[in-house]
Amino acid sequence: HYSFFEGQPRWQEGTEELTYAFDPDNGLDDTIKSVFGNAFKRWAEVTTISFRETASYLTADIRIGFYSGDHGDGEPFDGVLGTLAHAFSPTNGRFHLDQAEDWVASGDVTKASLSNAVDLESVAVHEIGHLLGLGHSSVEEAIMYPTITARTRKVELADDDIQGIQVLY
């Protein structure tokens, strides 16, 4: 079953659009950016919120970046595997990914040659759930279930994810 953060924080009532931006210092290519776009679209399809990329990093609602180790927010990354990414509850908007992972942004992660390969869209869909206000789910099929194995892809929202997010939006 789905859960929320303590106090059930959410983006403001009436929010129709949230903007997102990529840390300009990361210099991410379009392939990677489009993976995030697809992940946002999955949540937009089941809520009343749409997501739009903006170039204004500092004023975007959701700020996405890849960092390694200690990156200044008191939650250092730990190298290969372990923590892959973290996102914060509404309305913080920080969405950080561990630069040390072997991210797979295109192609079939189950066929990746690196045993540590992690599917970027799978992690993005999960973290966006947190950014919108979902905690973890006890339902194994749910995107918000707190386990993912390397070299697997899980990007489809389950009924449980949809029911949870529709309580909020």
Q: How far apart are CA 135 and CA 131, in angstroms?
A: 9
Question: Whose Cβ is closer to ligand TQI: residue 106's or residue 152's?
Answer: 152
Q: How many CA atoms lie within 13 A of 135 on its CB side?
A: 10
Query: In terms of Cα–Cα distance, which of 88, 23, 61, 49 is closest to 166?
Result: 49
Residues in 34-53 at the binding interface with Zn ion, rule: CB under 5 A: none
Give the binding site for ligand TQI (CB under 6 A): 83-86, 122-123, 126-127, 130, 135, 146-148
Shortest distance in whole angstroms from residue 109 CB to ligand TQI: 13
Residue with tokens 């009436």: 14
User: Do 168 and 4 touch, CB atoms closer than 8 A?
Assistant: yes
The first and second tokens of residue 129, run together, are: 């759930």
Query: In terms of Cα–Cα distance, which of 81, 85, 78 is closest to 127?
Result: 85
- 127 labelled catalytic: yes
Running DSSP on this structure, what letter comes out for residue 140?
T
Among ligand TQI, Zn ion, none, residue 84 binds (CB under 5-8 Å by kind): ligand TQI
Shortest distance in whole angstroms from residue 56 CB to ligand TQI: 26
Among ligand TQI, Zn ion, none, residue 109 binds (CB under 5-8 Å by kind): none
- Find how far residue 121's CA is from the centre of its chain: 8
Question: Whose Cβ is closer to Zn ion: residue 73's or residue 159's?
Answer: 73
* 78 contributes a contact to Zn ion by CB under 5 A: no
Indicate the residue whose CB is closest to Zn ion: 96
Running DSSP on this structure, what letter comes out for residue 40?
H
Question: Whose Cβ is closer to ligand TQI: residue 18's or residue 134's?
Answer: 134
The first and second tokens of residue 2, run together, are: 């789905």
* 96 contributes a contact to Zn ion by CB under 5 A: yes
Among ligand TQI, Zn ion, none, residue 96 binds (CB under 5-8 Å by kind): Zn ion
Give catalytic residues, as residue numbers. Answer: 127
Provide the binding-site residues for Zn ion, judged by CB under 5 A: 73, 75, 96
